[in-house]
Amino acid sequence: MADAPAGVSNAFRTFIENAPLHAKAWMGAVEGLEQATTLDAKTAELAYVAVLAALRLESGIPFHVGLAKRAGAIRDEVVSAVLIGLPAAGHTVLQVLPAALAAYDADG
């Protein structure tokens, strides 16, 4: 398994470094799902940010916000992606908003 991509969480980096066969299998599934989607890259990343926010998985936010930004997402779209889950997930999505904004602002 290759080195962890820049910006991934410490937990994911530890997974890749210490369980390379599992990581390879996981990434194979991820790549297959990426190929199966009909969403464009920006929409897919914004949707992923929304899911991470709803699940309160803050550690994945910097990486995926960076991918969304590089795919053309503007700051307001990232905010909207985080907040779209308010009706279904409740105010817990707000926990992720600071990390999402910090990641967007820090990503070059």
Mean pLDDT of the chain: 92
The count of domains in the chain is 2
pTM: 0.86
Q: Is the pLDDT of residue 2 over 70?
A: no
DSSP letter (8 states) at residue 2: P
- Is position 49 within any domain? yes
pLDDT tens for residues 30-72? 899 989 999 999 999 999 999 999 999 999 999 999 999 999 9
- Residue holding tokens 């949707």? 47
Query: Which range marks the domain in which residue 25 is found?
Result: 7-36
Same domain, 64 and 92: yes
Tell me which amino acid residue 102 is: A
Same domain, 90 and 101: yes
pLDDT band at 8 (very low <50, low <70, confident <90, very high): confident
CA dist 45 and 70 (Å) reads 10
